[in-house]
Structure 1
Amino acid sequence: MRILLANLPWHKLPEGEQPGWRGIRAGSRWPHTFPYYGGDLIGGYMPFPFYLATASSLLKAAGFEVAFRDSIALGESYDDFYAFARSFRPDLVVVETSTPSVNHDLAEAGKLKEMLPGLRAVFCGIHAELEEERYFAGRREIDFVLYGEYERPLLSLAQALREGADLSLVGNLLYRQAGEVCKTACGPLPDLKEFPWPERDDRLAGRYVDVGIGLEQPQLQMHASRGCPFGCIFCVWPQVVYRSRRYRKRDPEDVVAEIEANLKRYPYRSIYFDDDTFNVDLAHILAIARLMKARGLHHIPWGAMGRADLMTREALIELKEAGLHSIKYGVESGDPKVLDEIGKRMQLKKVIEMVAFTREIGIKAHLTFTIGLPSDTAESIEGTIDLACRLDAESLQFSIATPFPGTKMYEIYERKGWLITKNWADYDGAAKAVSRTERFSGEELENYVKLAYSRWAEAKIRRALGAPAFQTALAAQLAERLAPGDRLVVLQSANINLTLALVAALKKSPFEIHVLTHERFAPAFVPLLDESRLHLFRNTGDFRIAALKDWALALRTAHDFKGAVVPYTNPDGANYEEVEQVALTVAPIIAAGVNMEGRLIR
């Protein structure tokens, strides 16, 4: 039996002046889309699809012919994916779907079944409707649904189909028999020791990256555990995938052995542990850290996602010595009552202490906050924004509370009549509200997120670029590398507030300032510079050297730029290689590189 495991293409190309979009699905706790302005279909945040990859290893070990196709990481077109499917001719296609992509994925499955007669489709992933018998009955594009954590049930299903066995013995399954929908019980979660290492495609190894915490690419993404014992009402995976608060750990020896094996295969420059909550068991993660240090792996920077209030000073010091470079902390709100009501059970005082200590000892911190939680008030949201500004992390994320189907939050919002839409494509957990609350409309929540980002960036940049030490250092570095009157081009390659502040500061220098930017940012620079000094591109959404090289060379010839200034969103300039290539094409040198901390890193 041939089985195709698919993270399907999920994008829309730009049309005229309208940007398209790209989607992130398998491997992400918050599947989402973001604007796409042209160029290739890769770059930016790209999670590793652990479930599909582990399922592939399980199926291959059982003798199945398997193709694991991550079209998102490949950046491939729909036509290229269809061509691959036709050449492989699977008997079974397994689609990992999500709430915002489910209708799109159903349509694609229908096309595949028309294209390949006899093909049967399995849907799994994080969309709670899939396990409803009535929903499944009306979706002829799907032959089977595997709900919950699906790797082991998928193996059982494939074996049953191969052997003609009774499907009622397969757990977590919806199927049809004699025209009737049948649903089997959800089986127990397996011990992680039962799983083989996930399959990895060396061609895509450099594509997977979590961009929030400044780790360099290529980045090896790992799991050391699954699950979380806390009961946050908004969190999808514990409620829809695991269906419990059980926390499962891998053997530290096995984790480190997998890291070592992958480092021998590919020159990874960092490691990211994409666990649900990495530091639930400090003894477990310290055991991993000690093994990494003992085996000489502590020279490779690594990061993780955890809870600040579960950390200790002693643990952070030891983790740093073992290579911990950066960590994501979920804070969500600055109001203790709001935190209690969403099931976070977090000690805010301890969070503030540990974030400060994390930064004090040189570990980078990325914080996440949520706007529009059920009991949020104007005062609690203001308090959240104020806390975010005071904590002064290297980076952060503000999200609108999104009640995904299958979560307790969804039940609350549906019961209270707060859902604005059930158009699942809108449920992308980004900047678009799909619900309101008792006190706020969806539009007001969207505006709060914009305000939060703006206030945080302004506060951070004002502190950093307003410091006399920074201004003196920047002036001295530029004076060493350029002559008065030279033309200097600034790339809009970071948070727009940082670039605007840099341009405003550089206008006081003895140089002629120009800006290189995508056209969508042009209006922000018009008050600062004459339009003749704004150089706009639109053929790619970001700084891709392949798309911009000829244009950048022509600009260099026409304007004789003597240097470029590159703003960096992340602390160390990680993953800015293409930006720097564009800078060195449009100008002979990078005269300065400035990060959000107000440090000269180039």
Structure 2
Amino acid sequence: MRRSSSYPRPVSFGVAGPLEVLLVSPPLRAEQRYGRLAAAGMYMPPMGLTVLAASLRKAGHSVALLDCEALGLNHQEAKEQCRRSAPRILGLTAVTMSVQSAADLAALLKPLLPNTVFVLGGPHLSAAPEETLTRYPQFDVGVIGEGEETLLELVRRVLCEESITDLEGTIVWIGDTLRRNPNRALLEDIDTIPFPAWDLLPELQTHYRPSAFGFRKLPCMSVLTSRGCPGRCSFCSQGVWTDRYREHSAGYVLKMIRELYHHYGIRDLCIYDGTFGVKRSRLIELCELLIAERWDLVFSCNLRVGMADEKMLRLLKRAGCWGVAYGIESGSSKILEHLRKDITPAMIQRAITLTARAGLISKGYLMVGTPAETEETLAETLAFISTLDLDLLTVNSFTPFPGTLDWERADGFGTFDKDWSRLNQHSYAFVPHGLTRERLEYYVRLITRTFYVRPRVMINFARLMLNPYHLPLIYSGLTSFASFVGRSHRDL
């Protein structure tokens, strides 16, 4: 579907003329994200960068966005694209696993762009600002936390040749010294933020994909409708948005969805909020608005176990929701308490049962190898998962990330390799006392295999194969999955 002609064309790399800001998502391979299950993994746009780009453009700045992962660029190719654009400000974003990649790209470009200000932002920088810029001095400044107002002010000052050393929400090099400035206050009304600049990305329908089992129609796209989380889980960092929950109004969300539906042809949405539905009145209003539109549109979302009730789930179903994902994490009460989940196995059981009763697909996220994990708690989890009426299950190795409680206390519970490039959910960087990496990997495979060889789950997969939308992604995903589970079978 053609984009609306009301959008300006993206700035072309290498064209004549000055570019004020280039925002870059650094090179990263699917194998780095998902390990052996790379073929089944999703890749969606860098949502933070698209909102920052939209805010800069609204303020009148020339801005371009380079998504290296979507374009399949390596560091040399990305370097050439950035060099040709010669921006006045170059902003890179990074999570922990990609911060080394961002730093490598900045190091390649620094000698080639002597007049460019190099900026780093994103979840990792916000969680560990001093350590990150000390390790990577090729960045001139780091944007901590929510970036819209900070980046706008930074760009204005740089273009006006004013000092940025005292800019709120940043950490800045002054000679050989780092200066950490006060945090910037969070936005009070996030409805003032423009919709993401999707038009600055590569073609949505060809460069981005959902996970192999995470959609019902194509094209599929992810959206965020809120910021922050009221939860207090020990493994989760809210370094960018903090634990203060704020949400877009139902009307704002509907207009954003309408743009994706009409201008980009999107037919399936992954609502990526960590806790969609915190404010029940907004969820009800949004569902009623979607029902009234009568679009050919479906969506999935994440809910907290304690928020699920039958009336709300049935309303989600009527509004087009096909699936709900829950952070189960463990089947052991001891581990759930240690992780500060504020839920119990009985609450998990109830939420999954209600979801099935409402006619929705349910998915669970599980972690193996958390602090205080033992053979006994792993056996509890295996037994518990076998009792749930779940349709889909993702099992990851536990990883402490900077900015979390578990990062601070991990050394007291096991051995921890803090190499940032290994901090993903498949490298087993943390191993609890009394267990080994091999034993954790064994349980990841055992739990996965035990869950997916159940007849009911296999029948559901057979039904998925009848949907023509699923065939290409399902085939690649099942090939990857079969290899993963096959090793588990030989190990048992």
Is 1:576 matched with 2:471? yes
Distance 1:272 1:86 in 2: 34
- Pair 1:578–1:109, CA change in 2 (3 A): same
Alpha-carbon distance between aligned partners in 2 of 1:317 and 1:341, rounded to the nearest angstrom: 32
1:176-219 deviation digits (Å, cap 9, x = unpaired) = 22432211011222131231111103743224343243332211
Helix, strand or coil at the partner of 1:145: strand
What are the ranges of 5 or more consecutive residues in structure 1 without an aligned counterpart? 12-20, 24-31, 471-493, 499-566, 582-602
SS at match of 2:348: helix
Find the aligned partners of 2:341 and 2:465 in 1 and give their Cα distance: 28
Cα distance in 2 for residues equivalent to 1:452 and 1:35: 16
Structure 1 residues 68-88: Cα deviation after superposition (integer angstroms, max 9, x where no partner): 111212233444423322331
Q: Deviations over 1:565-597 (max 9, x none)?
A: xx687795643247789xxxxxxxxxxxxxxxx
Give the superposition deviation at 1:119.
2.4
Q: For residue 287 of structure 1, what is the amino acid of its counterpart?
A: E
Equivalence for 2:287: 289
Task: Answer yes or no: is 1:269 the counterpart of 2:271.
Answer: no
Distance 2:153 2:259 in 1: 28
Tell me the distance in 1 between the aligned counterparts of 2:457 and 2:28: 39
In the alignment, what sits opposite 1:210?
210
State whether structure 2 residue 32 is matched by structure 1 residue 2: no
Contact residue 327 and residue 366 of structure 1 kept, 8 A: yes
What is the aligned partner in structure 1 of residue 481 from structure 2? Answer: none
Contact 2:371–2:414 at 8 Å: present in 1 too? Answer: no
Q: Residues 130 and 256 (structure 1 numbering): CA distance in 2 closer, same or farther, change over 3 Å?
A: closer
Distance 1:413 1:124, change over 3 A: same
Q: 1:276-306 CA deviation, whole Å, 9 max, x = no partner?
A: 2112222211111111111223x41111111
Give the Cα–Cα distance (whole angstroms) in 1 for the partners of residues 334 and 230 of structure 2.
Answer: 20
- Partner amino acid, structure 2, of 1:575: H
Q: Aligned residue for 1:364?
A: 361
Instruction: Tell me the residue number matched to 2:482.
Output: none
Alpha-carbon distance in 2 for matches of 1:77, 1:91: 23
How far is 1:437 from its partner?
A: 1.5
1:291-335: per-residue Cα shift (whole Å, max 9, x none)?
1111223x4111111113211101111111111111111111112
Task: Please report the RMSD computed on the Cα atoms of aligned residues, expressed in angstroms.
Answer: 2.7
CA distance, structure 1, for counterparts of residue 328 and residue 185 of structure 2? 31
Distance 1:393 1:217 in 2: 24
SS in 2 for 1:58: helix
Q: Equivalent residue for 2:156?
A: 159
Q: 1:133 to 1:82 in 2, by over 3 A?
A: closer
**Alpha-carbon spacing, 1:43–1:350, altered in 2? closer, same or farther (3 Å):** closer
Q: Give 1:105-116 correspondences, 5 Å limit.
A: 105-116=102-113
Q: Judging changes above 3 Å, is the alpha-carbon distance between structure 1 residues 140 and 157 closer, same or farther for their aligned structure 2 residues?
A: same
Match in the other structure for 2:347 = 350
Tell me which amino acid in the other structure corresponds to 1:205: L
Q: What letter is aligned with 2:436?
A: S
Instruction: Give the TM-score taking structure 2 as reference length.
Output: 0.85
Letter in 2 for 1:235: C
- Residues 361 and 339 (structure 1), Cα distance of their counterparts in 2 relative to 1, 3 Å cut: same
Amino acid at match of 1:453: T
Match of 1:520 in 2: none
- Equivalent residue for 1:444, pick from 439, 443, 455: 439
Letter in structure 1 aligned against 2:416: I
Which has more radius of gyration?
A: 1
Residue of 397, 420, 427 corresponding to 2:416: 420
Preserved contact between residue 126 and residue 144 of structure 2 (Cα < 8 Å)? no
Deviation at 1:168, TM superposition (A): 4.2
- What code does the residue aligned with 2:429 have? V
Give the TM-score taking structure 1 as reference length: 0.70
> Which one of 94, 97, 100 corresponds to residue 100 of structure 1?
97
Q: Distance in 1 between matches of 2:324 and 2:443?
A: 25
Structure number with the bigger relative contact order (C-alpha 8 A, sep ≥ 6) is: 2
Partner of residue 451, structure 2: 456
Alpha-carbon distance in 2 for matches of 1:451, 1:261: 43
CA distance in 2, matches of 1:351, 1:422: 32
2:120 to 120, 123, 126: 123
- 1:553 corresponds in structure 2 to none
* Shift, 1:173, TM fit: 0.7
1:445 and 1:262, CA in 2 relative to 1: closer, same or farther beyond 3 A?
Answer: same
CA contact (8 A) 2:299 2:320 kept: yes
The SS at the match of 2:64 is strand
- Helix, strand or coil at the partner of 2:390: coil
The percent identity for this pair of structures is 23
CA contact (8 A) 1:2 1:66 kept: yes
Q: Look up the SS of the partner of 1:167 in the other structure.
A: coil
Q: 2:443 is paired with a residue of what secondary structure?
A: helix
Alpha-carbon distance in structure 2 between the residues aligned to 1:252 and 1:311: 20
Q: How many residues in Structure 1 have an aligned counterpart in Structure 2?
A: 454
Distance 1:224 1:257, change over 3 A: same
**Unmatched runs of 5 consecutive residues or more in structure 2:** 1-18, 477-492
SS at match of 1:34: helix
- Alpha carbons of structure 1 residues 170 and 573: separation in structure 2 relative to 1, 3 Å: farther
CA 1:443–1:59 in 2, change beyond 3 Å: closer, same or farther?
A: same
Change in 2 beyond 3 A, CA 1:129/1:261: closer
Aligned partners of 1:439, 1:391: CA distance in 2, in Å? 28
Tell me the distance in 1 between the aligned counterparts of 2:210 and 2:285: 24
Q: Helix, strand or coil for the counterpart of 1:436?
A: strand
Q: Deviations over 1:490-519 (max 9, x none)?
A: xxxx9xxx8xxxxxxxxxxxxxxxxxxxxx
TM-superposed deviation, 1:151: 2.7
Cα distance change, pair 130–121 in 1 and its aligned pair in 2 (3 A): farther
**2:8 aligned partner:** none
Greater Cα offset, 94-103 or 197-206: 197-206
In structure 2, distance between residues paired with 1:153 and 1:394 = 43
Q: Is the CA contact (8 Å cut-off) linking 2:95 and 2:124 kept in structure 1?
A: yes
Describe the SS at the equivalent of 1:287. helix
Q: 1:254 to 1:443 in 2, by over 3 A?
A: same
The equivalences for 1:35-54 within 5 A come to: 35=36, 44-54=41-51
Deviates more, 1:176-185 or 1:262-271: 176-185
Provide the rounded CA distance (Å) in 1 between the counterparts of 2:96 and 2:104.
14
Q: Tell me the distance in 2 between the aligned counterparts of 1:132 and 1:413.
A: 20
Question: Relative to 1, partners in 2 of residues 1:397 and 1:571: Cα closer, same or farther, differing over 3 Å?
Answer: farther
Rounded to whole Å, the distance in 1 between the matches of 2:127 and 2:355 is 41
- What is the aligned partner in structure 1 of residue 62 from structure 2? 65
2:242 is the counterpart of 1:251: no
Q: CA deviation at 1:436?
A: 1.8
Structure 1, 179-188 or 321-330: larger mean CA deviation: 179-188
- Which residue pairs with 1:325 in the alignment? 322
Asked if the contact 2:372–2:413 (Cα under 8 Å) also holds between the matched residues in 1, the reply is no
Contact in 1 for aligned 2:20/2:87 (Cα 8 Å) = yes
Contact 1:172/1:184 (CA < 8 Å) preserved in 2? yes
Query: Do 2:40 and 2:473's aligned partners in 1 also have CA atoms closer than 8 Å?
Result: no
Partner in structure 2 of residue 532 of structure 1: none
Q: Which one is further off, 197-206 or 54-63? A: 197-206
C-alpha deviation, 1:127, in angstroms: 2.1
